[in-house]
Amino acid sequence: MAESRDASGQKKNILFLIADDLGKYLNCYGAKNIKTPNINLLASQGTQFDMAFTSTASCSASRSVMYTGLHTHQNGQYGLACERHHFATFDYIETVPAVFNSLGYQTGIIGKVHVGPASSYPWEIREESGTRNVGWVADRAESFFEKAKETDRPFHLTVGYIDPHRDLTRSGFGNEDFGDARVKVTTVQPEDVEIPSFLNDLPEVRTELVEYYQSIQRLDAGVGLILDALERQGLSDSTLVCFVSDNGAPFINSKTTLYDAGIRLPVIVRAPQLKGGVVSPNMISYIDFFPTLLDWAGAKGHVLSENSRSPARLGTSFLQILDAKELLPEEKWQHHVFGSHTFHEVQNYWPTRYLRSRRYKYHRNLAWRLDFPFASDMYGSLSWDGIRNTPPPVMLGPRSLKNYIWRPQEELYDMEKDPQEVNNLALNEEYENVIKEYRTKLEAWQLKTNDAWLYRDGVSVAMNQHHIDAGLKIPDRFEIDVDNPGNRDVACWSPENVGQRSA
């Protein structure tokens, strides 16, 4: 068992708070007219990352990245775990609860779980619930804290909030009164909301944003209650607190996309004994959470078994840079991150991969001949209903609906000049060297992570490796050439040639 106490003998606990579909809609991240005083306070006491990226903007998949330190094409949680979708993490993957159980931690989850199977995520205490009663959540968390104190064990508690996810109505966000006097939500008026740059200013959008804001404010109240419980139990000075969102806001042009609106998210980390009020410009990825939590627990690099089939975790602990307000040079910290999306709902197949640096964003769209799919909660929303009935050409913020649904094989954006990712530079001759560089880096990462969606000639290289070993020649091109499909006397796939051929 690794040492889970600091030099003074205090246990090194972890409280991991996950908001559902929040995006960066917090005061401390610049959102206006949303009252989030408790999360603001947490940010003032800790480190607020401005360049934090999930691997994929889908609930189950993003959570699996946090819980495994692996991208979805590595861990198998390709899409949603719930209902008929039923995607699940591979049973041989090492997960946060399994590893922290082995370290002697009291592990637990309260609220939304949304990953599976249960055998792969063996939280010792599992209180799964779809409730939005954040007072109940805080009370159950306090009971969890009390039990850990009684047994004198360090703890790792995950809280999966339902807020501010949509409910099953066309415009609602679960804003009923739970009769808990501790939970106070300020009424929001349509004129108070701020229209995101990726949406249109329409009555339907404002109607939904009113409900969204109120759900966010309830989330904030819940965070305040749970942090009060932690303080009341005398555990604040021994607990690393992480607050994150699983993906971007639940609106078209954000959630389920790998545009920054879907994947660039709030991450706030409060570490005991570290001075707070840090706003970090350094890039982190959600694959970095697992290594960071192990580092905090004194178990850096810990695995359950040296013979495990679980792929090596490639993330890096950011515990060492929590107090860094300045941008660290690339030789000291990463200046790029990768991402991997394949499904949302089972019918939403649209595999794509991305490489995001501080300057550019490269998307490789594997199923580019398919329409980009609508998630059902957004397709049925009033906001989309309002947008689709505007006079043509229909726009989604600055992006045309046509370009949202029909996307090319490759996209390249200058994020400094074009943060909305509208002006695709992939076919611009001036950026030929950039596209080649990013294509090469992304495909090298796909090789390293054994990505089944590294395609040549329209097929998976990994799934045909046994044929390649037996002499099969796969032409070195993205898609099959139906006019000239032959594989003789043409350049053929080799890992040494990654990124060198044209699209």
- What residue has token string 């007072």? 135
Mean pLDDT of 448-460: 97
User: Does 3.40.50.300 match the CATH number of domain 13-340?
Assistant: no
Task: Tell which residue, 243, 248, 160, 181, has the closest CA to residue 212.
Answer: 248
User: Which of the four pLDDT bands, split at 50, 70 and 90, describes residue 306?
Assistant: confident
Residue 3 has pLDDT above 70, yes or no: no
Mean pLDDT of 318-322: 97
User: Which of the four pLDDT bands, split at 50, 70 and 90, describes residue 501?
Assistant: low
- What residue has token string 């004994």? 273
- The answer to whether residues 285 and 263 touch, using CB atoms and an 8 Å cutoff, is no
Residue-wise pLDDT for 108-138, tens only, equals 999 999 999 999 999 999 999 999 999 999 9
- What residue has token string 């040296």? 306
Residue 503 has pLDDT above 70, yes or no: no
**Distance from C-alpha of 15 to C-alpha of 241, rounded to nearest angstrom:** 5
Residue 387 has pLDDT above 90, yes or no: yes
Q: Look at residue 5 in the predicted model and tell me its pLDDT.
A: 67
Q: Look at residue 8 in the predicted model and tell me its pLDDT.
A: 57
Residues with a known catalytic role: 59
Q: Is 30 left (phi over 0), alpha (psi -120 to 50) or beta?
A: left
**Distance from C-alpha of 78 to C-alpha of 350, rounded to nearest angstrom:** 11
**Distance from C-alpha of 500 to C-alpha of 296, rounded to nearest angstrom:** 41
Q: Look at residue 7 in the predicted model and tell me its pLDDT.
A: 55
For the chain, domain boundaries:
13-340, 454-503
Residue-wise pLDDT for 43-75, tens only, equals 999 999 999 999 999 999 999 999 999 999 999
- The answer to whether residues 17 and 244 touch, using CB atoms and an 8 Å cutoff, is yes
**Distance from C-alpha of 282 to C-alpha of 296, rounded to nearest angstrom:** 19
- The answer to whether residues 353 and 337 touch, using CB atoms and an 8 Å cutoff, is no
Residue-wise pLDDT for 442-453, tens only, equals 999 999 999 999
**Distance from C-alpha of 329 to C-alpha of 392, rounded to nearest angstrom:** 46
How does the average pLDDT of the chain come out, rounded?
95
Residue 6 has pLDDT above 80, yes or no: no
**Distance from C-alpha of 4 to C-alpha of 116, rounded to nearest angstrom:** 27
Q: Look at residue 453 in the predicted model and tell me its pLDDT.
A: 98
Q: Which of 141-155, 282-296, 303-317, 487-501 has the lowest mean pLDDT?
A: 487-501
Residue 365: both structure tokens together: 């769209």
Q: Look at residue 257 in the predicted model and tell me its pLDDT.
A: 97
Total-model pTM: 0.96
The fraction of the chain above a pLDDT of 70, given in percent, is 97
Residue-wise pLDDT for 391-403, tens only, equals 999 999 999 999 9
User: Which of the four pLDDT bands, split at 50, 70 and 90, describes residue 203?
Assistant: very high
**Distance from C-alpha of 260 to C-alpha of 361, rounded to nearest angstrom:** 9
**Distance from C-alpha of 308 to C-alpha of 403, rounded to nearest angstrom:** 43
Other CB atoms within 10 A of residue 91 CB: 10
HEC assignment per residue over 418-450: CCCCCCCCCCCHHHHHHHHHHHHHHHHHHHHCC
Q: Look at residue 9 in the predicted model and tell me its pLDDT.
A: 63
Residue 483 has pLDDT above 80, yes or no: yes
User: Which of the four pLDDT bands, split at 50, 70 and 90, describes residue 30?
Assistant: very high
User: Which of the four pLDDT bands, split at 50, 70 and 90, describes residue 407?
Assistant: very high
Alpha helices, DSSP H, located in 289-416: 289-296, 376-379, 382-388, 401-405
